Amino acid sequence: MPVVTSPAAIAALFTAIVGPDHALSGDAIAEDYGHDEALTARMVRPAAVVRPASTDEVAAILRAADQHRIPVTARGAGTGLSGACIPRADGIVVSFERMNRVLEIDEANCVAVVEPGVRLDQLDGELGTRGLVYPVYPGEYSASLGGNVSTNAGGMRAVKYGVTRHNVLGVEAVLASGAVIRCGGKLIKTSSGYDLTQLVIGSEGTLALVTQAILRLHPRPAHGATVLAPFATLDEVTRAVPRIVASGLAPLMLEYIDILTMTAMINQLGLKLGVPDEIRAKAMAYLVVALENAHAERLEEDVQAVGELLAELGALDIYVLSPSAGGELIAAREKAFWVSKAAGADDVIDVVVPRAAIHAFVQRVGAIAREHETWIAGCGHAGDGNVHMAIFQKDSERRSRILRQLFEAGIALGGAISGEHGVGKEKKKHFLALEDPTKVELMRRIKAAFDPHGILNPGTIFD
Amino acid sequence: MPVVTSPAAIAALFTAIVGPDHALSGDAIAEDYGHDEALTARMVRPAAVVRPASTDEVAAILRAADQHRIPVTARGAGTGLSGACIPRADGIVVSFERMNRVLEIDEANCVAVVEPGVRLDQLDGELGTRGLVYPVYPGEYSASLGGNVSTNAGGMRAVKYGVTRHNVLGVEAVLASGAVIRCGGKLIKTSSGYDLTQLVIGSEGTLALVTQAILRLHPRPAHGATVLAPFATLDEVTRAVPRIVASGLAPLMLEYIDILTMTAMINQLGLKLGVPDEIRAKAMAYLVVALENAHAERLEEDVQAVGELLAELGALDIYVLSPSAGGELIAAREKAFWVSKAAGADDVIDVVVPRAAIHAFVQRVGAIAREHETWIAGCGHAGDGNVHMAIFQKDSERRSRILRQLFEAGIALGGAISGEHGVGKEKKKHFLALEDPTKVELMRRIKAAFDPHGILNPGTIFD
């Protein structure tokens, strides 16, 4: 069979599968399909955008793409931060926007079965009324579950509930050959061959296209509280984190926000936290501790205990926020990426280090910032050691050197380049330079085992 | 390089690496090295047993084995139940008994770093005094962590804490080539390339030899209680399980024990539970609910709530066991395998099904037992849907047909052949017959990506 290369021929190939309304080409392709939210991403117009409505259509699309060696980039909501869903100009985008059904909420087994285009807020709306929660909350609620699986998304609640990897029990996925496999199930354990579910999670669309995910649900505790503690130094905040985790109080969230980020959040979002000016003037960093419980009185006791612990750890003051102020603070923290973007950040990264090493890492970040006369503002999932940083440096070569140094610093402390954003296309250069070549070679061989012709998201994670 | 085949030549090859005291051959090989605890396992004497003391020695062993195409079977404590550590007669056993150090207990990061030969009771002894716990408790405390990683061991606490997969954050592993890789870290999240840690976990020694594991620790709650509830029918027990999980009471253990198993436990172990004879006469199955809490008064409230829920669900009576009786019951449940073995069981299996399907599965098991006039006694991790069954049927062909039917029944309900024991060599035939050939082929290609010459535990999971 001849290899199809012209955009028109490629579009025609997939029109036959999904119909003319759902195989877009040329000017019919909206600009959004060409990038994600990575600040450094450059839009690439694919040869076609294909919007399947079913697993069978996805299978047919991949069979055709594999035969004709057409690169395939899967796309959920496009909210990724590492460029993993930037397509190839000679390839197609498979957009899951039409596969957006919550197929089942199985209360007896505490699981939901969803298509990849389901958005987090959509799922949460359906679960809330049933007293259940899917606890993985990356900042962006318009993100899709398919995208979450692809990047192994995390978010603020990971300190209590783990990340996507810990809450996806199974997937239906289509291999590059078009074969459909079902892995895992409504099961919290299985030891029956290699765990393909776990391998697909976090593989950024390079191993298979996920067409269904089985999600673990949890009872939704009725009561929640948010405690805000300003500290005189970021050092004290980062030192406090392991102590709070070790306390057994099991916070739902444990976030730190540095003074640059907090100021930007207050100015841009008009956040009112009730922190008096004299305290704000002294505070160089904030710790946010969210707690939840099924029992109001237990929550109250735990809030009291957290307050006492924070005081002991040197907090300048402790504020138990009203539900509305707490909600606003959490919402503002979730918007930290947008705040950074609006403030002119040139890149954002999310190095992860062992929780007790945040302190050393943040000190090293400060030294790198000074060396390069660059603003590096941060906040992060402190309980997970996952530090989100916005880098303000227009010069791209210098910025690349800064990133390299930040990644090296994280790895030297036993960490990794990315806690939850993924490698994508934007961090690939650093990943390949810093990761053990033996592991990279092994990953390439695993990639080839799944996708012998290399059609799935080429250029992501590796070249 | 010539291929080495004689046992003496093989032993000589490895003597050069570990010294004469730790490369055993011929009669120096104790019978134990030739099998695990699978009831159907037949002892196989390997050409040599090699006992490395370090990762470097493991790497040298694998380099030599790979060059000479010598099969390598890793061995921890040999407590597996699926024959995964039965060696090949033309291969070697790499026994990790000398690599048994707890290398680090890092309280700030709540992790332990262990060598594969560390035993669960040894680790627990070191953690208990620090108020920490590694929560994966498969029944056998003499099991090694390396073996636990290899089979993705589970146990009674999985309903609260998950299984090995959820509590191992990273591994150091040696590939077949002798290359040493380090994956994951003291990190609860990372999205930086494929998750090799998760792939190695549960791979039963077929992908790499684990030489270190980084374990996630948890605060050890000070207070615990055990509630025992007899029910008039097994049906009622299996129906009660999803309700208890959905209650949000987060039991530490949620086990069911059928009348055959409970009777055997009482008779063989002299268990005294304080259940009056008139209740015992009516009880056809028992539910065990263990709870734990950092606060005594919260535990008491939760015990009360569990009791009320159990009464509502039809329990004949509810017994809050004394700490000693509770401990004895849990210990007896952990010994269920040995009780079955002593009672003359011919095989044990551990099918896993969705929690709410235990009811249907157990009914199907009853029908299969009647069809084959075979005793099938059971108990299990009801909260996980993981049903352990002892099969009393001497005729091996008939037993094989019964197993096939039991596995088919589990799979038809959305389950899998094994929740925690693994496929090993003993269930391979059924796994290959029942698993999707596309997935098996994918697993074979992954295997080849790790181990191109197929030296690692050949004959386990697949041929």
Q: What angle do CA B423, B426, B432 make, to 5 degrees?
A: 60
- The answer for B 393-432 residues in CB contact with A (under 8 A) is 414-423, 431
Q: Compute the half-sphere exposure of residue B348: CA atoms within 13 Å on the CB side of its CA.
A: 30
Of B183, B191, B198, the CB nearest to A195: B198
pLDDT digits (tens, 9 = 90+) for B40-61: 989 999 999 999 999 999 999 9
Rounded percentage of chain B residues whose pLDDT exceeds 90: 89
pLDDT of residue A7: 85
d(CA B323, CA B329): 10
The separation between the first and the last C-alpha atoms of chain B, rounded to the nearest angstrom, is 26
Instruction: Write down the residue that tokens 């490629």 correspond to.
Output: A10
d(CA A377, CA A261): 6
Could B192 and A431 be called an inter-chain contact, meaning their C-beta atoms sit closer than 8 Å?
yes
Could B422 and A108 be called an inter-chain contact, meaning their C-beta atoms sit closer than 8 Å?
no
Nearest CA in chain B to A189: B419
Asked if B215 contacts B111 with a C-beta cutoff of 8 angstroms, the reply is: yes
Asked if B84 contacts B94 with a C-beta cutoff of 8 angstroms, the reply is: no
| Residue A292 identity | E
Asked if A355 contacts A383 with a C-beta cutoff of 8 angstroms, the reply is: yes
In the structure, how many helices (H) and strands (E) does chain B have?
Answer: 17, 18
Q: Is B184 left (phi over 0), alpha (psi -120 to 50) or beta?
A: left
Contact residues on chain A for B109, CB-CB shorter than 8 A: 242, 354-357
Dihedral angle, C-alpha B415, B418, B423, B424, nearest 10 °: 180
A374: its two tokens: 């660059």
Of B108, B193, B207, the CB nearest to A242: B108
pLDDT of residue B3: 63
Q: In what order do the strands lie in the sheet with B48-50?
A: B23-24, B48-50, B92-95, B72-75
Contact residues on chain A for B354, CB-CB shorter than 8 A: 106, 109, 111, 185-187
Could A422 and B202 be called an inter-chain contact, meaning their C-beta atoms sit closer than 8 Å?
no
Mutation site for A-interface testing, chosen from B82, B105, B190 by largest number of A Cβ within 10 Å: B190
Instruction: Write down the residue that tokens 């919007």 correspond to.
Output: A51
User: Is the model's pLDDT at B163 over the cut of 60?
Assistant: yes
Of B188, B194, B357, the CB nearest to A203: B194
Could B439 and A219 be called an inter-chain contact, meaning their C-beta atoms sit closer than 8 Å?
no
> Residues with Cβ < 8 Å from A21, sequence gap 6 or more?
none
Q: Is A49 left (phi over 0), alpha (psi -120 to 50) or beta?
A: beta
Q: Would you place residue B154 in the very low, low, confident or very high pLDDT band (cuts 50, 70, 90)?
A: very high
Radius of gyration of chain A (CA): 22
d(CA A349, CA A421): 8
Q: How far is A106 from chain B (nearest CA, A)?
A: 9
B92: its two tokens: 């070697």
Of A179, A386, A446, the CB nearest to B449: A446
pLDDT of residue B2: 54
Give, for B362, the enclosing helix (H) or strand (E).
Answer: helix B358-371
Q: How many residues does chain B have?
A: 463
Nearest CA in chain A to B351: A190
Nearest CA in chain B to A110: B246
Helices marked H in A141-205 — which ranges?
A: 145-151, 158-161, 164-167, 196-200
Give, for A451, the enclosing helix (H) or strand (E).
Answer: none
Please say whether the dihedral angle defined by the alpha carbons of residues B268, B271, B277 and B281, taken in this order, is positive or negative: negative
In total, the C-beta contacts within 8 angstroms joining chain A to chain B are 244
Could A352 and B190 be called an inter-chain contact, meaning their C-beta atoms sit closer than 8 Å?
yes
Regions in chain A scoring below 50 on pLDDT: none
DSSP A416: B
Q: What angle do CA A370, A376, A381 make, to 5 degrees?
A: 130
pLDDT digits (tens, 9 = 90+) for B250-291: 999 999 999 988 998 888 888 888 899 999 999 999 999 999
pLDDT of residue B336: 85
Q: b/e for A354-365, b at 16 or more Cβ within 10 A?
A: bbbbbbebbebb
d(CA B337, CA B142): 14
Of B185, B442, B461, the CB nearest to A415: B185
- The answer for A 129-168 residues in CB contact with B (under 8 A) is 151-154, 158-159, 162-163, 165-166
Angle between helix B7-18 and B55-68 (nearest 10): 150
| Nearest alpha-carbon partner for B149 in B139, B138, B157, B161 | B138
Could A446 and B247 be called an inter-chain contact, meaning their C-beta atoms sit closer than 8 Å?
no
Asked if A87 contacts A41 with a C-beta cutoff of 8 angstroms, the reply is: no
Contact residues on chain B for A158, CB-CB shorter than 8 A: 188-189
Could A354 and B109 be called an inter-chain contact, meaning their C-beta atoms sit closer than 8 Å?
yes
Burial class (CB in 10 A: 0-12, 13-18, 19+), A65: buried
| Nearest alpha-carbon partner for A128 in A213, A222, A215, A212 | A222
B135: its two tokens: 């929560």
d(CA A384, CA B272): 45
Contact residues on chain A for B166, CB-CB shorter than 8 A: 162, 166
| Nearest alpha-carbon partner for B421 in B452, B386, B393 | B386
Mutation site for A-interface testing, chosen from B191, B309, B358 by largest number of A Cβ within 10 Å: B191
Instruction: Report how far Cα B154 is from the mean position of its chain's Cα atoms.
Output: 5
Asked if B25 contacts B34 with a C-beta cutoff of 8 angstroms, the reply is: no
Of A109, A195, A246, the CB nearest to B199: A195
Contact residues on chain B for A449, CB-CB shorter than 8 A: 442, 445-446, 448-449
ipTM of the complex: 0.96
pLDDT digits (tens, 9 = 90+) for B376-430: 998 889 999 999 999 999 999 999 999 999 999 999 999 999 999 999 999 999 9
pLDDT digits (tens, 9 = 90+) for A237-283: 988 999 999 899 999 999 999 998 899 888 888 888 889 999 999 99
Asked if B212 contacts B166 with a C-beta cutoff of 8 angstroms, the reply is: no
Strands (E), B175-284: 180-184, 209-216, 218-219, 223-231, 253-258
DSSP sequence for A89-146: TTSEEEE-TT---EEEEETTTTEEEE-TT-BHHHHHHHHHTTTEE-----S-TT-BHH
Flag whether residue B43 sits within 8 Å of chain A, measured between CB atoms. no
Flag whether residue A299 sits within 8 Å of chain B, measured between CB atoms. no
Nearest CA in chain A to B166: A166
Could B356 and A109 be called an inter-chain contact, meaning their C-beta atoms sit closer than 8 Å?
yes
Of A199, A221, A384, the CB nearest to B189: A384
Contact residues on chain B for A201, CB-CB shorter than 8 A: 195
Q: How far is B276 from chain A (nearest CA, A)?
A: 33
Q: How far is A109 from chain B (nearest CA, A)?
A: 6
Could B423 and A192 be called an inter-chain contact, meaning their C-beta atoms sit closer than 8 Å?
yes
Average pLDDT over residues B227-251: 93
Of A163, A199, A245, the CB nearest to B199: A199
Residues facing A214 on adjacent strands: A113, A170
B128: number of Cβ within 10 Å: 11
Q: Compute the half-sphere exposure of residue B368: CA atoms within 13 Å on the CB side of its CA.
A: 25
Of A198, A202, A246, the CB nearest to B110: A246
Could A181 and B436 be called an inter-chain contact, meaning their C-beta atoms sit closer than 8 Å?
yes
pLDDT digits (tens, 9 = 90+) for B349-362: 999 999 999 989 99
| Nearest alpha-carbon partner for A144 in A122, A166, A161, A127 | A122
Of A195, A416, A445, the CB nearest to B185: A416
Flag whether residue B109 sits within 8 Å of chain A, measured between CB atoms. yes
Could B435 and A162 be called an inter-chain contact, meaning their C-beta atoms sit closer than 8 Å?
no
Mean per-residue pLDDT of chain B: 95
pLDDT of residue A182: 98
DSSP A394: -
pLDDT of residue A440: 98
d(CA B273, CA B291): 18
Contact residues on chain B for A186, CB-CB shorter than 8 A: 354-355, 414
Burial class (CB in 10 A: 0-12, 13-18, 19+), B108: middle
Of B352, B354, B446, the CB nearest to A194: B446
| Nearest alpha-carbon partner for A365 in A380, A339, A268 | A380
| Residue B42 identity | R
B148: its two tokens: 């636990």
> Residues with Cβ < 8 Å from B336, sequence gap 6 or more?
B139, B257, B261, B265, B379, B388
d(CA B439, CA B269): 43
Q: What angle do CA A228, A233, A237 make, to 5 degrees?
A: 50
DSSP sequence for B175-206: -TTS-EEEEE-S-S---SS--HHHHHTTSTTS
d(CA B318, CA B324): 17
Nearest CA in chain B to A155: B189
Q: State if pTM tops 0.95.
A: yes
